[in-house]
Amino acid sequence: MRLATSIAAAILAAIAAAQIQPASADSAYQAFGTRGRAQDVRRTIDIVMRDNSYQPQRIQVRAGETVRFRVRNAGELLHEFNIGTAVMHQQHQREMRAMFDSGMMSATSKDAMAGMDHSRMPGMNHGAMGHGGMDHGAMRHDDPNAVLVDPGKTGEMVFKFTRATSLEFACNIPGHYESGMVGNVTFSR
């Protein structure tokens, strides 16, 4: 009886440890940047998202610069502004596809399933999906390199670019990248 109890306790501890382990798949942005501090912002870049395009289609930054992105969604669909390499976007598109297929997000709202207990959702391994930084209660992305904006809303993110590399900003909602929601980040000296 006591043995069974301690085995059960050990299993619960193992489960808890596995759940608080940070996901590493979405930390790929650390190769080129990090979450920026508001007091380091010297420049704000305004981005307008439509169905399905960005304006501007190209932005220029400097290595070491902290930029505030003010991202307005002027479309009727949910859109994302996500800074990453082409490979990161490919991977994120697969994750987004899974979230849409499961009903966690809808075409017009990131909060499609707000309030549901996602940790109990069968078949959804969030750690493996790389969304360790996501607030599942409100279904918000908390990755410092991305902001998801509902139609008619404006989102913000402060990002510090630490290293010049080949980057794109993109929307990884199913079908959007392919139909033109991608732009280039270039680095100036």
- The stretch among 25-33, 103-111, 154-162, 181-189 that binds Cu ion (CB under 5 A) is 181-189
DSSP secondary-structure letter at 160? E
CA angle 133/90/179 to nearest 5° reads 115
Q: Which is nearer to Cu ion, 36 or 183 (CB)?
A: 183
Cis peptide before 145 (omega within 30 of 0): no
Interactions with Cu ion, residue window 60-79 (CB under 5 A)? 79
> Strands 43-50 and 66-73: what pairing?
parallel
Candidates 88, 113, 139, 173; binder of Cu ion (CB under 5 A) is 173
- The stretch among 9-17, 40-48, 99-107, 177-185 that binds Cu ion (CB under 5 A) is 177-185
Q: How many residues make contact with Cu ion (CB under 5 A)?
A: 5
Is the separation of the CB atoms in 155 and 147 below 8 Å? Answer: yes
The residue written with tokens 């440890």 in the block is: 17
Which of 147, 117, 143 has its CA nearest to residue 129?
143
DSSP secondary-structure letter at 23? P
Cis peptide before 56 (omega within 30 of 0): yes
Which of 97, 105, 173, 158 has its CA nearest to residue 136?
105
Candidates 145, 176, 182, 183; binder of Cu ion (CB under 5 A) is 176
Q: Which is nearer to Cu ion, 65 or 139 (CB)?
A: 139
Least Å from the CB of residue 131 to Cu ion: 18
In the chain, the N- to C-terminal Cα span, in Å, equals 69
Is residue 105 near Cu ion by the rule CB under 5 A? no
Q: Which is nearer to Cu ion, 27 or 140 (CB)?
A: 140
Q: Which is nearer to Cu ion, 129 or 149 (CB)?
A: 149
Least Å from the CB of residue 173 to Cu ion: 4
Q: Which is nearer to Cu ion, 66 or 73 (CB)?
A: 73
Least Å from the CB of residue 51 to Cu ion: 7
Quick one: how far is CA 73 from the chain centroid?
16
Least Å from the CB of residue 99 to Cu ion: 14
- Contacts to Cu ion by CB under 5 A: 79, 171, 173, 176, 181
